[in-house]
């Protein structure tokens, strides 16, 4: 027994009683065979198909990305050696930042150890530097953006999800001369919907606001060069700050912001979460650069993903499963109850060798629990058919609902960054 263990146990018990205690599957990717993986249970292992990876394009196993990481490790070693200020700045990071600035058509880019950190550093520093700044935030923004806003201490106004009229209303209440930030995402990761970017940019022009977009679930996958939804819609130059991750479609690790040289230099100079933490390891930076370069030119991964997505969506609709409306590669299937959601996930794994993690509160609002499926270009036609059959069997056996009632509670209310209940993603 450790000190205060009764408190820790009580906190865990609360999660069990609500059916949302999280269990991580012990998986080992089968290298080039991904999405096939080994699932380890005690002393045994069996083969499962992963259907919920955020390595959306399978770039984590791409030969040129793997090779870049191995070459860099052999040539220059693994660790960064310090913060960027203390001997942690090295050529692979400089190259990576150049690649990212180019990807988004911006003057500069700054790399962080994760996308989460890049949002904390970006949002909090920009809003602290701007005098008397006020932030306008979509109610479904990611926990890392909310963390950045809390960190900044700047006042914020929350607009209804993707609601242009509501945002306009809120903007019009604040004096024109006062600096403003509109913070939103392009693709929302749990619903798979896309924000009205150009409308938000119009409002930003009208009301003197800076636009800050999180393209984490779009970079690598949308736009002719993988520059995200803003690139796809020809809006790169209308967005002031584009934030992204290297850990999802690019298959590695790290996060970044891109923007004007002055803005990026200010964040570099003032953000504690940039200054006081060790830089990204050199092999990781080299692998990320290889991945971005590949996806700027190659379109087969994006096309393969879109084909797999279209096939699966069609089959699920035909089977009468409660697909939540999504116009992207993210396919959420509505369950609406934490215990049932966990049961469905368990059954898919036990009986069908299919791994889809249950998505429960606080990642999504209570009552909107779901399975979230993310097809990659490496899921075969056969795997897609098997998945559909397995889902139908699971829905029938557990008598799960076939109509997706969507009731949305603002993320700002239910993502608690206070110690209890724990926040997760
Ligand atoms: C995953 C995620 C992040 C954080 O990115 P990491 O690189 O995983 O830290 C930021 N924003 C959104 C919307 C995300 O889903």
Q: Residues, the chain, total? A: 425
> Is any atom of ligand 1 closer than 6 Å to the C-beta of 97?
no
Q: Which of 52, 100, 111, 142 to mutate to test the pocket of ligand 1 (most atoms within 8 A of CB)?
A: 142
Output the pLDDT for position 420.
39
> Is any atom of ligand 1 closer than 6 Å to the C-beta of 372?
no
| Identified catalytic residue from 248, 296, 313, 351 | 248
CA separation, residue 371 to residues 27, 378, 402 (Å)? 19, 20, 13
Of residues 18 and 140, which shows the higher confidence score?
140
Q: Which of 55, 122, 146, 189 to mutate to test the pocket of ligand 1 (most atoms within 8 A of CB)?
A: 189
Output the pLDDT for position 422.
34
Q: Across residues 217-240, what is the average pLDDT?
A: 98
pLDDT digits (tens, 9 = 90+) for 176-192: 999 999 999 999 999 99
Write down the residue that tokens 């701007």 correspond to: 130
Distance between CA 211 and CA 181 in Å, rounded?
Answer: 6
> Is any atom of ligand 1 closer than 6 Å to the C-beta of 144?
yes
Q: Are strands 108-112 and 134-138 parallel, antiparallel or unpaired?
A: unpaired
pLDDT of residue 423 exceeding 50: no
Q: Residue 412: pLDDT band by 50, 70, 90 thresholds?
A: low
What's the alpha-carbon Rg for the chain, to the nearest Å?
A: 22
Alpha helices by DSSP H, listed for 271-423, are 272-275, 282-297, 300-318, 338-352, 381-397, 411-414
128 is catalytic: no
Output the pLDDT for position 407.
42
The tokens describing 191, both together, are 């619903």
pLDDT digits (tens, 9 = 90+) for 379-396: 999 999 999 999 999 999
Q: Across residues 76-103, what is the average pLDDT?
A: 94
Mean pLDDT, all residues of the chain: 93
Q: Residue 240: pLDDT band by 50, 70, 90 thresholds?
A: very high
* C-alpha torsion sign, points 375, 379, 380, 386: negative
Output the pLDDT for position 325.
83
Q: Which of 52, 59, 116 to mutate to test the pocket of ligand 1 (most atoms within 8 A of CB)?
A: 116
Q: Residue 241 carries which DSSP code?
A: E
pLDDT digits (tens, 9 = 90+) for 292-321: 999 999 999 999 999 999 999 999 999 999
> Is any atom of ligand 1 closer than 6 Å to the C-beta of 252?
no
Name which of 213-222, 248-257, 402-411 the model is least confident about.
Answer: 402-411
pLDDT of residue 138 exceeding 80: yes
Distance between CA 196 and CA 380 in Å, rounded?
Answer: 33
Helix, strand, coil % over all residues of the chain, rounded to 5: 45, 15, 40
Q: In what order do the strands lie in the sheet with 156-159?
A: 108-112, 255-259, 241-245, 209-214, 180-185, 134-138, 156-159
Give the nearest ligand 1 atom to 245 CA: 7
**For ligand 1, atom 14: residue with the closest CA:** 216
Give the nearest ligand 1 atom to 254 CA: 7
The number of beta carbons lying within 10 Å of the beta carbon of residue 360 is 25
pLDDT digits (tens, 9 = 90+) for 97-112: 999 999 999 999 999 9
Number of H helices, E strands in the chain: 15, 14
Distance between CA 161 and CA 170 in Å, rounded?
Answer: 13
Give the nearest ligand 1 atom to 117 CA: 9
Distance between CA 195 and CA 193 in Å, rounded?
Answer: 7
> Is any atom of ligand 1 closer than 6 Å to the C-beta of 288?
no
pLDDT of residue 282 exceeding 90: yes
pLDDT digits (tens, 9 = 90+) for 117-131: 999 999 999 999 999
Distance between CA 384 and CA 51 in Å, rounded?
Answer: 10
> Is any atom of ligand 1 closer than 6 Å to the C-beta of 56?
no
**For ligand 1, atom 15: residue with the closest CA:** 189
> Is any atom of ligand 1 closer than 6 Å to the C-beta of 127?
no
Q: Residue 23: pLDDT band by 50, 70, 90 thresholds?
A: confident
pTM (2 decimals)?
0.93
Q: Residue 378 carries which DSSP code?
A: T
Give the nearest ligand 1 atom to 247 CA: 7
């Amino acid at each position: 027994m450790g000190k205060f263990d009764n408190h820790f146990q009580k906190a865990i018990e609360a999660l069990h009683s609500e059916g949302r205690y999280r269990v991580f599957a012990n998986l080992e990717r089968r290298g080039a065979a991904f999405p096939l993986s080994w699932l380890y249970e005690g002393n045994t292992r069996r083969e499962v198909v992963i259907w919920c990876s955020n390595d959306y394009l399978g770039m984590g196993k791409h030969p040129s990305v793997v090779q870049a990481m191995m070459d860099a490790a052999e040539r220059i070693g693994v660790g960064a050696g310090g913060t960027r200020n203390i001997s942690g700045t090295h050529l692979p990071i400089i190259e990576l930042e150049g690649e990212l600035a180019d990807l988004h058509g911006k003057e500069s880019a700054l790399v962080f150890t994760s996308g989460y950190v890049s949002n904390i550093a970006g949002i909090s520093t920009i809003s602290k530097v701007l005098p008397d700044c006020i932030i306008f935030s979509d109610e479904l923004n990611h926990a890392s953006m909310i963390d950045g806003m809390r960190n900044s201490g700047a006042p914020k106004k929350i607009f209804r999800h993707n609601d242009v009229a509501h945002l306009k209303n809120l903007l019009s209440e604040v004096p024109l001369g006062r600096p403003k930030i509109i913070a939103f995402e392009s693709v929302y990761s749990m619903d798979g919907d896309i924000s009205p970017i150009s409308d938000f940019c119009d409002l930003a022009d009208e009301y003197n606001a800076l636009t800050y977009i999180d393209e984490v679930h779009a970079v690598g996958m949308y736009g002719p060069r993988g520059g995200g939804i803003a690139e796809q819609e020809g809006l790169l130059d209308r967005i002031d700050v584009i934030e992204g991750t290297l850990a999802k479609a690019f298959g590695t690790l790290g996060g970044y912001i891109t923007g004007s040289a002055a803005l990026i230099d200010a964040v570099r100079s003032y953000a504690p979460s940039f200054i006081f933490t060790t830089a990204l390891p050199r092999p990781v930076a080299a692998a990320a650069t290889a991945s971005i370069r590949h996806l700027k030119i190659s379109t087969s991964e994006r096309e393969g993903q879109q084909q797999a997505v279209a096939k699966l969506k069609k089959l699920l609709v035909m089977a009468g499963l409660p697909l939540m409306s999504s116009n992207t590669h993210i396919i959420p299937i509505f369950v609406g109850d934490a215990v049932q959601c966990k049961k469905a996930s368990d059954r898919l794994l036990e009986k069908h060798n299919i791994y889809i993690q249950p998505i429960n509160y606080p990642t999504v609002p209570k009552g909107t629990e779901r399975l979230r499926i993310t097809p990659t270009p490496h899921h075969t036609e056969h795997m897609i058919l098997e998945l559909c059959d397995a889902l139908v069997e699971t829905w029938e056996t557990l008598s799960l609902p076939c109509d997706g009632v969507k009731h949305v509670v603002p993320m700002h209310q239910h993502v608690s960054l206070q110690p209890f209940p724990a926040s997760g993603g």
